[in-house]
């Protein structure tokens, strides 16, 4: 390691963003990413630690110092090749991974100064390759084995990419009409452009994975049908697609959406360009978004772009407990979203016609920590207050979709309805593996990918033993 | 009414299930109930009424055209068993859904009394098919152009008043009709199943657009239904939610060259 770093080295090359005043009226991507000069400057800060902590912080163990070194030397093709040894979806991860909690959190610069912008550099390398044309890695020769991958979100795409590279015949089954799962229905264009998702799905297809859309496993075909039609193994990555509601009075009034529905209408169905696209969505001037995660931030910022004037996030704990990425909270606030912390809705009031008009909230205070380690919100008696709203979006989380569990014998689920799996992602059913939100509650794209990769290797070992 | 080649769906289909389809790249996803299937031929039969932009576009399709996105069969199949004497009610285009149900119930050994109704005789569908699967068929028209002049509920009321043995009622139609049916049978404690038709987006339980209140609990019609106990359904909520996009539907129709024909239930299956 070099000697004492200079003051200049401690500072990060800032990532350019569209100014809040402009971006809050536009669905264009907020972050502009690094140009070549900025990327090289940022890469030059890396100390190339001999036993790098950042790699340990990465759920798919990308050789981070090695790819950064390539960028520093101007070898951008080498950088992306290095990343893709471990990660098939770098354009997506560079944008939506919570790097501040993972690789960047481990960076030695974190102790003094600002960690290397690993995520921004990953995105830079991925975007460089997209402009230049994506190269395919060497593929193993065909094993003659076929694998069905259920779901085309982060877990499914990762498993499919890994298995295809290893020479298996892979088919992805997707319930919706477009592949990508939460990457297309959930995460908005301004945070993850759909052209990036499309390109990375294409990459997985070019590795040899076939994609069948509009097929629901659990209805159109069952897991048993897949085995009957000759698949040697099944990977399930169906995510957490079933939205939770608070089950409070008035929650079914018109003008109250789940975050999933609001975001699906806007992202997958492009309701923000209605009536050019047929699917409508209600927008509101006064919008309440319930919850403190990334979906809440995405929904609030989308509502703002649809013409929201007073968009508030109502969250029952304090800012420190918010599960959303810090950067997304900052982006939301910069754009004009307000945070109404330590408040929890108790009911909605509506008009005669059944449209929401008010939300009643109760003030909360923080008590002792709960099982999640976060301080438990405790209601303040008699503190109810009313806020006029014309749109509410419930973004308090989602559980697994029950269709596969309901239609497959021998597939054990836990109390939270997620599949019970071992460390390799193996379910209780022979020849069936699972990863991502259907099998664990971690809830990030990269964890789904990390676990999917482990499961894919376990499938490979099983098929080639 | 049209047949669509969809071998996988045809093979899995059971009475009460539906599909979601999209007619073009910028189109909406709408649910349509499956009226029939032919596993040998690999086809399903769908019936839709031209009330919105998508159903109007569907009406313009010609033999050999492709529907770009079609997914199913969705929803839980209806409960089919030998209940004894069953009254099946089909209102308007929903007769298309009543028919496979009547056939399945007949096949299970029930004695079938069917009531089908429409605004006028030209809008009656599947009359012959319903006659074949029923031991008794009643027809009603709002304008009196055929059969009883009035509503399907008038006939049901007469049956109840004549103390006809009714072990179960199964109703398909506009929400207002199903509500009236449920209100009629409730005091007599006649088990009444209804098939709900809320607005849907994905149809797989992912969005919650189709949430309905049943026995005070929120259910997703696409995965928990669409068939529910009519005595437990909050029909007023269902009707309010069906009106959620009427204004947008008008804008959507105006923006296309399609014929304006926005009925009370723009999204009726």
- A279 shares its domain with A405: no
Q: Is A150 helix (H, G, I), strand (E, B) or coil?
A: strand
- A278 shares its domain with A394: yes
Range name among A165-169, A393-397, A416-420 with the lowest pLDDT average: A416-420
Which of A132, A162, A192 terminates a domain? The answer is A132
Query: How many structural domains does chain A have?
Result: 3
Q: Which residue of chain A is at minimal alpha-carbon distance from B247? A: A280
Per-residue pLDDT, A268: 92
Whether residue A137 is contained in a domain is answered as no
Average pLDDT of span A244-256: 96
Average pLDDT of span B171-180: 95
Q: Which residue has the tokens 């049209």?
A: B2
Average pLDDT of span A307-321: 95
Whether residue A11 is contained in a domain is answered as no
Per-residue pLDDT, B208: 94
- Tell me if A215 and B69 make a contact (CB, 8 A cut-off): no
Whether residue A207 is contained in a domain is answered as yes
The answer to whether residue A442 scores a pLDDT higher than 80 is no
- A36 shares its domain with A120: yes
- A248 shares its domain with A375: yes
Strand partners, B86: B112, B168
The answer to whether residue B105 scores a pLDDT higher than 50 is yes
Parent domain of A64: 16-132
Tell me which of B64 and B37 has the higher pLDDT.
Answer: B37
Q: Is B9 on the interface with A (CB under 8 A)?
A: yes
- A454 shares its domain with A383: no
In chain B, % of residues over pLDDT 70: 94
Domain CATH for A451? 3.50.50.60
Q: Which residues contact B169 (CB under 8 A, 6 or more apart)?
A: B86, B87, B88, B89, B156, B181, B185, B190, B191, B192, B193, B230
Per-residue pLDDT, B256: 55
- Tell me if A354 and B237 make a contact (CB, 8 A cut-off): yes
Of A321, A329, A320, residue with least CA distance to A294:
A329
Range list of H helices, A274-429 = 294-305, 326-335, 403-407
Average pLDDT of span A192-196: 95
Q: Is B202 on the interface with A (CB under 8 A)?
A: yes
Whether residue A7 is contained in a domain is answered as no
The answer to whether residue A215 scores a pLDDT higher than 80 is yes
What does the DSSP 8-state code read for residue B123? G
The answer to whether residue A148 scores a pLDDT higher than 80 is yes
Range name among A96-100, A211-215, A298-302 with the lowest pLDDT average: A96-100
Q: Which residue has the tokens 């509009």?
A: A214
- Tell me if A254 and B71 make a contact (CB, 8 A cut-off): no
The answer to whether residue B263 scores a pLDDT higher than 50 is no
Whether residue A177 is contained in a domain is answered as yes
The answer to whether residue B84 scores a pLDDT higher than 50 is yes
Question: Do the Cβ atoms of A110 and A53 come closer than 8 Å?
Answer: no
Which of A132, A163, A193 terminates a domain? The answer is A132
Whether residue A4 is contained in a domain is answered as no
Per-residue pLDDT, A238: 93
Which residues in chain A have Cβ-Cβ distances shorter than 8 Å to B208?
243, 245, 257-258, 260-261
Q: Could you check whether the bond before residue A83 is cis, i.e. omega within 30 degrees of 0?
A: no
Whether residue A390 is contained in a domain is answered as yes
Per-residue pLDDT, B259: 35
Q: Is B241 helix (H, G, I), strand (E, B) or coil?
A: helix
B10-52 pLDDT per residue, tens: 999 999 999 999 988 888 998 998 988 999 999 999 887 777 7
Q: Which two tokens stand for residue A177?
A: 């009409």
Whether residue A88 is contained in a domain is answered as yes
- Tell me if A279 and B29 make a contact (CB, 8 A cut-off): yes
Per-residue pLDDT, B266: 34
A217-238 pLDDT per residue, tens: 999 999 999 999 999 999 999 9
Per-residue pLDDT, B258: 38
- A155 shares its domain with A236: yes
Which residues in chain B have Cβ-Cβ distances shorter than 8 Å to A247?
218
- A174 shares its domain with A230: yes
Strand partners, B213: B218
Task: Calculate how close chain B gets to A117, using CA atoms only, in Å.
Answer: 35
The answer to whether residue A269 scores a pLDDT higher than 60 is yes
Q: Which two tokens stand for residue B142?
A: 């709002």
Q: What CA–CA distance (Å, rounded) separates B158 from B165?
A: 12
- Tell me if B201 and A265 make a contact (CB, 8 A cut-off): yes
- A274 shares its domain with A380: yes
The answer to whether residue A255 scores a pLDDT higher than 50 is yes
- A390 shares its domain with A405: no
Per-residue pLDDT, B261: 34
Q: Which residue of chain B is at minimal alpha-carbon distance from A262? A: B207
The answer to whether residue A158 scores a pLDDT higher than 60 is yes
Average pLDDT of chain A to the nearest whole number: 93
- A248 shares its domain with A269: yes
- A185 shares its domain with A269: no
Which of A132, A161, A186 terminates a domain? The answer is A132
Provide Rg for chain B, Cα atoms: 18
Average pLDDT of span A87-104: 91
Which residues in chain A have Cβ-Cβ distances shorter than 8 Å to B237?
252, 354
Q: Which residue of chain A is at minimal alpha-carbon distance from B22? A: A177
Domain CATH for A124? 1.10.1060.10
Angle at which helix B175-185 crosses helix B152-161, to 10 degrees, equals 10
- A198 shares its domain with A175: yes
Average pLDDT of chain B to the nearest whole number: 89
Q: Name the band, by pLDDT with cuts 50, 70 and 90, for residue A139.
A: confident
């Amino acid at each position: 390691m070099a000697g004492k770093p200079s003051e200049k080295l401690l500072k990060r090359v800032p990532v350019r963003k569209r100014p809040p005043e402009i971006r809050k009226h536009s669905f264009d991507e907020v972050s502009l990413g690094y140009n070549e000069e900025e990327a090289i400057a940022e890469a030059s800060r890396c100390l190339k630690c001999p036993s790098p902590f950042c790699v340990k912080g990465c759920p798919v163990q990308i050789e981070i110092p090695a790819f950064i070194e390539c960028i520093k030397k101007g070898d951008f093709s080498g950088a992306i090749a290095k990343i893709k040894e471990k990660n098939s979806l770098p354009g997506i991860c560079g944008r939506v991974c919570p790097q501040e909690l993972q690789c960047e959190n481990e960076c030695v610069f974190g102790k003094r100064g600002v960690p290397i912008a690993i995520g921004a550099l990953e995105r830079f390398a991925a975007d460089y390759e997209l402009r230049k044309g994506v190269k395919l890695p060497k593929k193993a020769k065909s094993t003659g084995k076929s694998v069905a991958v259920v779901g085309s979100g982060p877990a499914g795409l990762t498993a499919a990419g890994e298995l295809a590279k290893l020479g298996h015949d892979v088919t992805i089954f997707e319930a919706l009409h477009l592949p990508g799962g939460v990457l297309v229905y959930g995460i908005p264009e301004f945070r993850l452009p759909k052209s990036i998702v499309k390109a990375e799905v294409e990459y997985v297809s070019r590795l040899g994975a076939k994609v069948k859309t509009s097929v629901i496993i659990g209805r159109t075909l069952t897991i048993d049908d897949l085995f009957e039609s000759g698949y040697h193994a099944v990977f399930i990555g169906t995510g957490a697609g079933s939205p939770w509601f608070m089950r409070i009075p008035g929650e079914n009034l018109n003008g109250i959406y789940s975050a999933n529905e609001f975001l699906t209408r806007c992202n997958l169905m492009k309701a923000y360009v209605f009536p050019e696209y047929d699917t409508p969505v209600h927008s509101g001037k006064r919008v309440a978004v319930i919850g403190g995660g990334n979906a809440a931030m995405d929904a609030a910022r989308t509502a703002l772009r649809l013409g929201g004037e007073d968009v508030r996030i109502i969250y029952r704990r304090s800012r420190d407990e918010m599960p959303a990425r810090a950067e997304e909270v900052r982006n939301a606030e910069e754009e004009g979203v307000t945070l109404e912390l330590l408040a929890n809705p108790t009911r909605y009031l509506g008009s005669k016609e059944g449209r929401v008009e008010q939300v009643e909230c109760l003030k909360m205070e923080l008590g002792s920590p709960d099982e999640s380690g976060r301080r438990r919100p405790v209601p303040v008696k008699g503190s109810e207050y009313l806020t006029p709203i014309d749109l509410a979006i419930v973004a308090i989380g989602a559980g697994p979709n029950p269709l596969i569990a309901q239609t497959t014998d021998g597939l054990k689920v836990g109390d939270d309805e997620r599949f019970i799996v071992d460390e390799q992602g193996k379910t209780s059913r022979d020849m069936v593996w699972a990863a991502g939100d259907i099998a664990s509650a971690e809830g990030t794209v990269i964890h789904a990918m990390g676990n999917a990769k482990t499961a894919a290797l376990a499938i490979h070992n099983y098929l080639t033993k | 009414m049209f047949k669509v080649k969809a071998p996988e769906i045809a093979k899995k289909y059971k009475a009460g299930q539906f599909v979601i389809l999209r007619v073009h790249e910028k189109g909406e996803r709408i649910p349509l109930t499956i009226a029939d299937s032919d596993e040998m031929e690999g086809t399903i039969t769908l019936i839709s009424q031209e009330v919105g932009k998508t159903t109007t576009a569907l009406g313009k399709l010609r033999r050999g055209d492709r529907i770009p996105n079609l997914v199913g069969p969705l929803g839980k199949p209806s409960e089919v068993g030998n209940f004894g004497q069953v009254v099946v009610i089909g209102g308007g285009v929903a007769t298309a859904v009543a028919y496979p149900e009547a056939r399945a119930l007949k096949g299970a050994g029930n004695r079938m009394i069917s009531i089908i109704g429409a605004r006028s005789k030209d809008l009656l569908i599947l009359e012959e098919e319903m006659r074949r699967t029923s031991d008794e068929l009643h027809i009603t028209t709002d304008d009196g152009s055929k059969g009883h002049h009035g509503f399907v509920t008038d006939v049901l009321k007469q049956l109840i008043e004549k103390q006809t043995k009714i072990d179960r009622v199964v109703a398909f139609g506009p929400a207002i009709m199903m509500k009236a049916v449920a209100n009629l049978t409730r005091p007599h404690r006649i088990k009444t199943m209804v098939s709900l038709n809320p607005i849907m987006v994905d149809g797989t339980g992912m969005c919650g657009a189709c949430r309905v209140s049943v026995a005070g609990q929120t259910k997703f019609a696409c995965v928990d239904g669409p068939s529910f106990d009519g005595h437990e359904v909050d029909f007023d909520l269902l009707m309010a939610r069906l009106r959620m996009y009427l204004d947008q539907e008008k804008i959507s129709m105006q923006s296309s060259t399609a014929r304006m024909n926005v009925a009370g239930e723009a999204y009726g299956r």
